[in-house]
Amino acid sequence: MTLLDSPALAGARRTGSTPGRLVMAEIMKIRTTNTWWLFIGGVLVFTSLALARNGARHHFELNPQLDGLNASDKAQVLAQAAQAHTPGSLDAIAGDMMTSGQFFGVLFAMIIGVLVVTNEYAHQTATATFMANPRRTRVIMAKFVAAACFGALFWLASTLMNVIVTPIYLHSEKVSVALTDWAVVRSVLLNLLAFVMWAIFGLGLGTLVRSQIGSVVTGMATYLLGIAAVAVVVQLIYLVYHHAWVQSAIVVAPAVASLVMTTPGRIDIDNPPPQWAGLVVMLAYTVAFGAIGVILTRRRDVT
């Protein structure tokens, strides 16, 4: 018995690497560093901020301030408040509360997707990864699944917080909405889809821009500044070409698309794009960036 003998290997069945093992290895890579729980902390912070903001907004929607208004304004405001109390609007409010934290939460999902790839290059572990599994498509597919799992985990953290706070809030506002209403559940599930899609989007971005800081900055800029840029362009086109659908075209900004997909009413423009448009745009981005990820990983030399 010497150090070169291996009881572990001698006793083991030779199973080789299977897609399931590859996914578990990728999840283990994230799990064995600090990033994921720091990010969950970030998701929770932003979820609580969003809950406060959304709560305040809906509070004034349901209980308008009537002081210092003349009679006709007062009537109009009361009518709006009454409108907010209809079942449909209450569902929308509940859905909004239950998806609080999405705007910045998906940003964390995107960044974890970016890190799943760029960590391999930043820490030069890509060599070991691809030596263990030269079939690169399988590796990148496993990464997609792992990134999606962590996107879902972030969604779970955010939703757990929402599911605790929302009923308390709605109770204190003295409105009764069943959180099991399909409209609410659908928003929550679409929110999950958004987290997963952004994680995959981030992973594709990471393969495109392999520098860690480069791709994180690019991703955040696309997400946060992309809205403003697209809004300006859309508005300019709208001035020239005065059609309603032009305004709706702001949905091509990925951040808008994911908002529209989950809670279509939240975009504050004249001609809000339909929910399906948000879904289609997000799907298109996810597939495009996923494909970029696979193709680039297959073709490029590992350095």
Partner 1 sequence: MPILLLLILLGGATAWWVLRGKGGRSASASAGDADPGLPDVVLGEGRGSATRVAADGLISVSGLTKRYKGVVAVDDLSFVVRPGRVTGFLGPNGAGKTTTLRMILGLAAPSAGTATIGGVGYGDLAEPLRRVGGLLEASAAHKGRTGRNHLRILCRSAGIPLQRADEVLELVGLTPAGRRKFKGYSLGMRQRLGIAAAMIGDPQVLILDEPANGLDPDGIRWMRDLLKALALEGRTVLVSSHLLAEMQVLADDLVIIAAGRLVVSGTVATVLNSIAATGATLVRTPDVEKLSAALNGDAAVTIDDSGDIYVTGVDAAAIGEAAARSGVVLHQLATQRPDLEGVFLELTKGKAAIR
Residues forming the site for partner 1 (CB under 8 A)? 2-9, 11-12, 14-18, 21-22, 24-26, 28-29, 32-35, 38, 42, 46, 49, 53, 104, 107, 119, 123-125, 127-135, 213, 216, 220, 224, 301-302
DSSP state of 274: P
Other Cβ atoms within 10 Å of 48 Cβ, number? 16
Q: Which is nearer to partner 1, 80 or 133 (CB)?
A: 133
CA 194 to chain centre: 4
How many residues does this entry show for the chain? Answer: 303
Q: Which is nearer to partner 1, 12 or 244 (CB)?
A: 12
Shortest distance (Å) from residue 13 CB to partner 1: 9
Shortest distance (Å) from residue 79 CB to partner 1: 26
Q: Which is nearer to partner 1, 177 or 259 (CB)?
A: 259
What tokens appear for 25 in the block? 């290895």
| d(C-alpha 115, C-alpha 135), whole Å | 21
Are 289 and 204 within 8 A, CB to CB? yes
Shortest distance (Å) from residue 230 CB to partner 1: 15
Q: Which is nearer to partner 1, 14 or 242 (CB)?
A: 14
Shortest distance (Å) from residue 185 CB to partner 1: 27
Shortest distance (Å) from residue 19 CB to partner 1: 11
Q: Which is nearer to partner 1, 33 or 83 (CB)?
A: 33
Shortest distance (Å) from residue 240 CB to partner 1: 27
Q: What is the DSSP string of 151-206?
A: HHHHHHHHHHHHHHHHHHHHHHTT----TTSHHHHHHHHHHHHHHHHHHHHHHHHH
| d(C-alpha 139, C-alpha 141), whole Å | 5
| d(C-alpha 183, C-alpha 260), whole Å | 14
Q: Which is nearer to partner 1, 114 or 194 (CB)?
A: 114
